[in-house]
Structure 1
Amino acid sequence: MAILYTTKSTATGGGRSGRATTADGVLDVTLTVPKEIGGDGATGTNPEQLFATGYAACFLGALHFVAGKEKVKLSGDTTITASVGIGPRDDGTGFGIEVSLVASLPDLDRDVAEKLVAAAHIVCPYSHAMRTSTEVEVTLA
Protein backbone atom coordinates (compact mmCIF):
# COMPACT_ATOMS: atom_id res chain seq x y z
CA MET A 1 0.00 0.00 0.00
CA ALA A 2 1.34 3.43 -0.91
CA ILE A 3 1.02 5.69 2.14
CA LEU A 4 -0.25 9.18 1.23
CA TYR A 5 -0.19 10.77 4.69
CA THR A 6 1.23 9.90 8.10
CA THR A 7 0.71 11.65 11.41
CA LYS A 8 1.97 11.00 14.92
CA SER A 9 0.48 11.54 18.34
CA THR A 10 2.17 10.96 21.67
CA ALA A 11 0.43 10.27 24.98
CA THR A 12 2.19 11.07 28.25
CA GLY A 13 1.25 10.71 31.89
CA GLY A 14 -0.92 7.88 33.13
CA GLY A 15 -2.22 6.80 29.73
CA ARG A 16 -5.90 7.44 30.26
CA SER A 17 -5.02 10.39 32.46
CA GLY A 18 -2.41 12.74 31.14
CA ARG A 19 -1.93 14.51 27.86
CA ALA A 20 -1.83 13.67 24.17
CA THR A 21 -0.34 15.86 21.44
CA THR A 22 0.21 15.49 17.73
CA ALA A 23 3.69 16.03 16.33
CA ASP A 24 2.56 19.22 14.56
CA GLY A 25 0.99 20.59 17.78
CA VAL A 26 -2.45 21.05 16.19
CA LEU A 27 -4.09 18.62 18.62
CA ASP A 28 -3.20 18.99 22.30
CA VAL A 29 -5.68 17.40 24.70
CA THR A 30 -5.98 16.62 28.37
CA LEU A 31 -6.84 12.97 28.94
CA THR A 32 -9.13 11.93 31.78
CA VAL A 33 -10.74 8.69 32.89
CA PRO A 34 -14.56 8.68 32.67
CA LYS A 35 -16.44 8.16 35.95
CA GLU A 36 -18.05 5.04 34.45
CA ILE A 37 -14.70 3.24 34.48
CA GLY A 38 -13.33 4.58 37.76
CA GLY A 39 -12.29 8.13 36.92
CA ASP A 40 -13.03 11.29 38.84
CA GLY A 41 -15.01 12.93 36.03
CA ALA A 42 -12.47 15.71 35.53
CA THR A 43 -12.70 17.83 32.40
CA GLY A 44 -10.88 16.26 29.48
CA THR A 45 -11.28 13.67 26.77
CA ASN A 46 -10.55 9.97 26.50
CA PRO A 47 -9.43 7.48 23.85
CA GLU A 48 -12.99 6.35 23.13
CA GLN A 49 -14.13 9.92 22.41
CA LEU A 50 -11.13 10.48 20.16
CA PHE A 51 -11.74 7.20 18.31
CA ALA A 52 -15.46 7.99 17.88
CA THR A 53 -14.62 11.46 16.56
CA GLY A 54 -12.01 10.14 14.13
CA TYR A 55 -14.24 7.33 12.90
CA ALA A 56 -17.26 9.63 12.39
CA ALA A 57 -15.18 12.17 10.44
CA CYS A 58 -13.45 9.51 8.35
CA PHE A 59 -16.71 7.73 7.52
CA LEU A 60 -18.32 11.03 6.54
CA GLY A 61 -15.37 11.68 4.22
CA ALA A 62 -15.79 8.21 2.70
CA LEU A 63 -19.51 8.89 2.26
CA HIS A 64 -18.77 12.13 0.38
CA PHE A 65 -16.23 10.25 -1.74
CA VAL A 66 -18.67 7.54 -2.84
CA ALA A 67 -21.49 10.06 -3.31
CA GLY A 68 -19.24 12.06 -5.62
CA LYS A 69 -18.42 8.98 -7.67
CA GLU A 70 -22.16 8.28 -8.00
CA LYS A 71 -22.90 11.95 -8.83
CA VAL A 72 -25.14 12.26 -5.76
CA LYS A 73 -25.23 15.58 -3.90
CA LEU A 74 -25.21 15.21 -0.12
CA SER A 75 -26.96 17.77 2.04
CA GLY A 76 -24.85 19.97 4.31
CA ASP A 77 -26.90 18.41 7.10
CA THR A 78 -25.54 14.91 6.43
CA THR A 79 -24.11 13.46 9.65
CA ILE A 80 -22.38 10.37 10.96
CA THR A 81 -22.62 9.61 14.66
CA ALA A 82 -20.15 7.06 15.99
CA SER A 83 -20.68 5.34 19.34
CA VAL A 84 -17.70 3.64 20.95
CA GLY A 85 -18.00 1.55 24.10
CA ILE A 86 -15.28 -0.13 26.12
CA GLY A 87 -15.50 -3.08 28.48
CA PRO A 88 -13.78 -6.22 29.65
CA ARG A 89 -13.43 -8.97 27.04
CA ASP A 90 -15.25 -12.23 27.69
CA ASP A 91 -11.93 -14.10 27.70
CA GLY A 92 -10.82 -12.06 30.75
CA THR A 93 -7.48 -11.07 29.21
CA GLY A 94 -8.09 -7.39 28.55
CA PHE A 95 -10.55 -4.93 27.12
CA GLY A 96 -12.49 -4.66 23.89
CA ILE A 97 -14.39 -1.99 22.09
CA GLU A 98 -17.83 -1.98 20.52
CA VAL A 99 -18.51 0.44 17.68
CA SER A 100 -21.69 1.50 15.90
CA LEU A 101 -22.38 4.17 13.29
CA VAL A 102 -25.61 6.01 12.54
CA ALA A 103 -25.81 7.86 9.23
CA SER A 104 -28.31 10.64 8.59
CA LEU A 105 -28.67 11.57 4.91
CA PRO A 106 -31.60 14.00 4.78
CA ASP A 107 -33.29 14.68 1.45
CA LEU A 108 -32.14 11.40 -0.09
CA ASP A 109 -34.27 8.43 -1.05
CA ARG A 110 -33.75 5.65 1.53
CA ASP A 111 -32.57 3.12 -1.09
CA VAL A 112 -29.95 5.55 -2.44
CA ALA A 113 -28.83 6.46 1.09
CA GLU A 114 -28.47 2.77 2.07
CA LYS A 115 -26.35 2.04 -1.02
CA LEU A 116 -24.09 5.03 -0.33
CA VAL A 117 -23.64 4.06 3.34
CA ALA A 118 -22.82 0.45 2.38
CA ALA A 119 -20.27 1.67 -0.18
CA ALA A 120 -18.74 4.11 2.33
CA HIS A 121 -18.35 1.24 4.81
CA ILE A 122 -16.17 -0.54 2.21
CA VAL A 123 -14.16 2.62 1.36
CA CYS A 124 -13.59 3.97 4.91
CA PRO A 125 -10.17 2.95 6.29
CA TYR A 126 -11.51 2.84 9.87
CA SER A 127 -14.23 0.41 8.78
CA HIS A 128 -11.67 -1.64 6.87
CA ALA A 129 -9.37 -1.83 9.91
CA MET A 130 -12.22 -2.86 12.20
CA ARG A 131 -13.51 -5.45 9.74
CA THR A 132 -10.14 -7.04 8.97
CA SER A 133 -8.38 -6.87 12.36
CA THR A 134 -5.53 -4.86 10.84
CA GLU A 135 -2.17 -5.82 12.31
CA VAL A 136 -0.43 -3.11 14.35
CA GLU A 137 3.35 -3.04 14.60
CA VAL A 138 4.42 -2.47 18.22
CA THR A 139 8.11 -1.80 18.94
CA LEU A 140 10.19 -0.55 21.84
CA ALA A 141 11.96 2.81 21.37
Structure 2
Amino acid sequence: MDTIKPLFTAVATATGGRNGHTEASDGTVSADLSVPKAMGGPGKPGTTTPEHLFAAGYAACFGGALDFVAKQHKKDATKAKITAEVSIGPRDGGGFGIAVKLHVEDPSLPQAELVALANEAHEKICPYSHATRGNVDVQLDVKGG
Protein backbone atom coordinates (compact mmCIF):
# COMPACT_ATOMS: atom_id res chain seq x y z
CA MET A 1 0.00 0.00 0.00
CA ASP A 2 1.26 3.46 -0.88
CA THR A 3 1.61 6.03 1.87
CA ILE A 4 0.78 9.68 1.34
CA LYS A 5 1.73 13.02 2.82
CA PRO A 6 -1.73 14.54 3.42
CA LEU A 7 -2.30 17.96 1.89
CA PHE A 8 -5.99 18.10 2.81
CA THR A 9 -8.38 15.90 4.76
CA ALA A 10 -12.12 15.93 4.20
CA VAL A 11 -14.25 14.78 7.12
CA ALA A 12 -17.87 13.66 6.85
CA THR A 13 -20.25 11.87 9.18
CA ALA A 14 -23.22 9.70 8.25
CA THR A 15 -26.00 8.83 10.66
CA GLY A 16 -28.66 6.26 9.88
CA GLY A 17 -26.77 4.54 7.06
CA ARG A 18 -28.44 4.45 3.65
CA ASN A 19 -31.70 5.86 5.07
CA GLY A 20 -30.10 8.64 7.07
CA HIS A 21 -28.12 11.81 6.60
CA THR A 22 -24.51 12.62 5.73
CA GLU A 23 -22.70 15.89 6.20
CA ALA A 24 -19.19 17.28 5.83
CA SER A 25 -17.68 18.68 9.02
CA ASP A 26 -17.39 22.13 7.42
CA GLY A 27 -20.99 22.09 6.16
CA THR A 28 -20.07 22.19 2.46
CA VAL A 29 -21.92 18.92 1.79
CA SER A 30 -25.18 17.96 3.47
CA ALA A 31 -27.45 15.27 2.06
CA ASP A 32 -30.38 13.16 3.14
CA LEU A 33 -30.08 9.57 1.98
CA SER A 34 -32.52 6.82 1.06
CA VAL A 35 -32.29 3.44 -0.59
CA PRO A 36 -33.51 3.68 -4.21
CA LYS A 37 -36.65 1.80 -5.23
CA ALA A 38 -34.52 -0.33 -7.60
CA MET A 39 -32.80 -1.74 -4.49
CA GLY A 40 -36.06 -2.31 -2.60
CA GLY A 41 -36.03 0.97 -0.69
CA PRO A 42 -38.41 3.92 -0.50
CA GLY A 43 -36.49 6.11 -2.97
CA LYS A 44 -37.61 9.26 -1.16
CA PRO A 45 -37.72 12.40 -3.33
CA GLY A 46 -34.95 14.93 -2.64
CA THR A 47 -32.55 12.29 -1.33
CA THR A 48 -29.38 10.80 -2.72
CA THR A 49 -27.29 7.64 -2.36
CA PRO A 50 -23.66 6.91 -1.53
CA GLU A 51 -23.27 5.91 -5.19
CA HIS A 52 -24.39 9.38 -6.35
CA LEU A 53 -21.89 10.98 -4.00
CA PHE A 54 -19.10 8.65 -5.15
CA ALA A 55 -19.97 9.31 -8.82
CA ALA A 56 -19.89 13.08 -8.29
CA GLY A 57 -16.55 12.89 -6.50
CA TYR A 58 -14.96 10.55 -9.03
CA ALA A 59 -16.14 12.66 -11.99
CA ALA A 60 -14.73 15.85 -10.46
CA CYS A 61 -11.47 14.22 -9.39
CA PHE A 62 -10.95 12.57 -12.78
CA GLY A 63 -11.64 15.87 -14.53
CA GLY A 64 -8.94 17.51 -12.41
CA ALA A 65 -6.50 14.70 -13.17
CA LEU A 66 -7.24 14.96 -16.90
CA ASP A 67 -6.70 18.73 -16.84
CA PHE A 68 -3.41 18.24 -14.96
CA VAL A 69 -2.13 15.69 -17.48
CA ALA A 70 -3.26 17.80 -20.43
CA LYS A 71 -1.37 20.84 -19.13
CA GLN A 72 1.78 18.72 -18.79
CA HIS A 73 1.41 17.91 -22.51
CA LYS A 74 0.66 21.55 -23.44
CA LYS A 75 -2.97 20.65 -24.26
CA ASP A 76 -6.24 22.17 -23.02
CA ALA A 77 -8.76 19.76 -21.48
CA THR A 78 -10.66 22.39 -19.50
CA LYS A 79 -13.73 21.81 -21.69
CA ALA A 80 -13.80 18.06 -21.02
CA LYS A 81 -17.02 16.70 -19.57
CA ILE A 82 -16.64 13.70 -17.26
CA THR A 83 -19.68 11.61 -16.43
CA ALA A 84 -19.26 8.83 -13.87
CA GLU A 85 -21.74 5.96 -13.75
CA VAL A 86 -21.46 4.07 -10.47
CA SER A 87 -23.43 0.83 -10.28
CA ILE A 88 -24.01 -1.29 -7.19
CA GLY A 89 -24.99 -4.94 -7.06
CA PRO A 90 -24.32 -8.32 -5.52
CA ARG A 91 -20.75 -9.64 -5.82
CA ASP A 92 -19.90 -13.16 -6.94
CA GLY A 93 -17.97 -13.56 -3.66
CA GLY A 94 -20.89 -12.36 -1.52
CA GLY A 95 -21.96 -8.97 -0.26
CA PHE A 96 -22.19 -5.99 -2.58
CA GLY A 97 -19.74 -4.26 -4.87
CA ILE A 98 -19.58 -1.34 -7.25
CA ALA A 99 -18.55 -0.89 -10.88
CA VAL A 100 -17.67 2.39 -12.58
CA LYS A 101 -17.88 3.63 -16.14
CA LEU A 102 -16.22 6.98 -16.82
CA HIS A 103 -17.42 8.81 -19.92
CA VAL A 104 -14.85 11.38 -21.06
CA GLU A 105 -16.01 13.82 -23.75
CA ASP A 106 -14.11 16.69 -25.33
CA PRO A 107 -14.76 17.41 -29.01
CA SER A 108 -12.00 20.05 -28.97
CA LEU A 109 -9.33 17.33 -28.69
CA PRO A 110 -8.64 14.67 -31.34
CA GLN A 111 -9.82 11.18 -30.32
CA ALA A 112 -6.35 9.61 -30.10
CA GLU A 113 -4.99 12.49 -27.99
CA LEU A 114 -7.95 12.41 -25.60
CA VAL A 115 -7.65 8.63 -25.20
CA ALA A 116 -3.94 8.97 -24.36
CA LEU A 117 -4.59 11.80 -21.87
CA ALA A 118 -7.49 9.94 -20.22
CA ASN A 119 -5.44 6.74 -19.90
CA GLU A 120 -2.54 8.65 -18.34
CA ALA A 121 -4.87 10.45 -15.92
CA HIS A 122 -6.41 7.09 -14.97
CA GLU A 123 -3.15 5.16 -14.63
CA LYS A 124 -0.87 7.78 -13.07
CA ILE A 125 -2.74 10.70 -11.47
CA CYS A 126 -6.35 10.30 -10.30
CA PRO A 127 -6.57 9.27 -6.61
CA TYR A 128 -10.00 7.68 -7.15
CA SER A 129 -8.54 5.54 -9.94
CA HIS A 130 -5.66 4.53 -7.66
CA ALA A 131 -8.08 3.71 -4.83
CA THR A 132 -10.31 1.52 -6.99
CA ARG A 133 -7.58 -0.23 -8.98
CA GLY A 134 -7.55 -3.97 -8.47
CA ASN A 135 -10.92 -4.29 -6.73
CA VAL A 136 -13.44 -2.21 -8.73
CA ASP A 137 -14.14 -2.62 -12.44
CA VAL A 138 -13.49 0.85 -13.90
CA GLN A 139 -14.04 1.31 -17.63
CA LEU A 140 -13.19 4.37 -19.70
CA ASP A 141 -15.40 5.50 -22.59
CA VAL A 142 -13.61 8.33 -24.40
CA LYS A 143 -15.07 10.51 -27.17
CA GLY A 144 -12.88 13.21 -28.68
CA GLY A 145 -13.21 15.26 -31.85
Does the alignment reach a TM-score above 0.5?
yes
Q: Which residue of 1 aligns with 2:87?
A: 85
**What value does the CA root-mean-square deviation take over the aligned residues?**
1.1
Q: Could you list the runs of 5+ residues in structure 2 that have no partner in the other structure? A: 136-145
Cα separation, 1, equivalents of 2:67 and 2:105: 13
Report 1:61-80 matches (<5 A): 61-76=64-79, 78-80=80-82
Q: How much does 1:74 deviate? A: 2.3
Q: Could you list the runs of 5+ residues in structure 1 that have no partner in the other structure? A: 134-141
Report 1:32-43 matches (<5 A): 32-43=34-45
Among candidates 27, 46, 52, match of residue 29 of structure 2: 27
| Number of matched pairs | 130
Q: Which residue of 2 aligns with 1:128?
A: 130
Identity among equivalent positions (%) equals 50
Q: How much does 1:89 deviate? A: 1.1
Cα separation, 2, equivalents of 1:49 and 1:71: 33
Compute the TM-score of the two structures, normalised by the length of structure 1. Answer: 0.88
Does the 8 Å CA contact 2:62/2:82 hold for their aligned counterparts? Answer: yes
Cα separation, 2, equivalents of 1:106 and 1:75: 11
Tell me which stretches of 4 or more aligned residues in structure 1 moved more than 4 Å: none
Compute the TM-score of the two structures, normalised by the length of structure 2. Answer: 0.86
